[in-house]
Amino acid sequence: MTQALPKLLSFNEFIEWYPNNGKRYELHKGVIIEMPPPTGSHEKVVGFIAQKLTVEFDRLNLPYTIPKTALIQTPSAESAYSPDVLLLNLDNLDNEPLFQKQSTVSQAASVPIVIEVVSTNWRDDYYNKLRDYARVASRREEMGIPEYWIADYAALGARKFIGNPKQPTIFVCELVDGEYQMTPFQGNTAISSPTFPQLNLTAQQIFNAAN
C-alpha cells in the first residue's frame, strides 16, 4: 500500500499556521520543526553575545538593532529560521516586503551577522543553516549572509568540527566567493569579526557566560 507523502508547507502557510503559544518554530524545507526549549546556559550565552554586539554597533553609531524575535526566510530552500541572535540593518528594512507585518527578512543587505548558539539540534546549525545562510545572492530568491557565527559553548558538534576530544568552539564563518570560510576560536583567542574588526571579545568570555 502506497503511503501518502506529508504535505510541504509554503512560507505563507507556515506564517498563517504559526500559533501564539510561546513556543518557537522553524520551517525546514517545507516541514514545521518545533525548536527545543532553551536551557538557562543557552539563554545566558545568547544574551551575552547580543549585549557585546549592541555595545559595539552603538559605539560605532551604526544603524543596527537586534530584535527579540524575527525570522529569516530562505526562499530557494523553502525554509524560515529563527536565529538566536539576528543583527538587522535598519536602513534596509524598508526594502523588506515581509518585515512590517511578519517580522521576516529575506535579503542579505538586512543581515550583517546571524548567530546560532548550538543546542541539541546541532546538525541544523552546522549543516542546514550553514548551507542556506551562504546561498549566494546571484539570484533574487537567494540570500548570501556575509557573516555567520556558530557558538558551540557546550561542545555538542561533531568531532570533525571541534576536535577530539571535543572543545567548546566559536566559528566565525565569512562568505567568500559564495562559500563560508569557517575560522574556529577557542580559549582566550580573540574573536575576529569581519563586520566588527575592533570587537574586543574572546571565545572564553562567551563560554564563561554560560556558568
**Looking at the DSSP assignment, which residues form a beta bridge with residue 72?**
81, 105
At 40-78, the pLDDT tens digits run: 999 999 999 999 999 999 999 999 999 998 999 986 768
DSSP tag of 58: H
How far apart are alpha carbons 85 and 49 in whole angstroms? 8
The three-state secondary structure class of 85 is strand
- Going along the chain, which residue ranges are E strands? 25-28, 31-34, 64-65, 71-74, 79-81, 85-89, 104-105, 113-117, 147-152, 169-176, 179-185
For 155-207, the pLDDT digits (tens) are 999 999 999 999 999 999 999 988 899 999 999 999 999 999 999 999 999 99
Question: What mean pLDDT comes out for the span 30-39?
Answer: 91
**Cα gap 86→175, rounded to integer Å:** 17
Q: Does 108 score more than 60 pLDDT?
A: yes
* Coil, strand or helix at 35: coil
Per-residue confidence (pLDDT) for residue 183, from 0 to 100: 98
pLDDT at res. 74: 86
pLDDT value for 1: 44
**pLDDT over 60 (residue 109):** yes
* Nearest C-alpha neighbor of 81 from the set 91, 63, 69: 69
Instruction: Kindly indicate the confidence band of residue 135, based on its pLDDT and cuts at 50, 70 and 90.
Output: confident
Cell numbers placing 173: 564563518
Q: Which residues contact 202 (CB under 8 A, 6 or more apart)?
A: 185, 187, 188, 189, 190, 191
Q: What percentage of the chain exceeds 90 in pLDDT?
A: 79
Residue 72, pLDDT score: 95
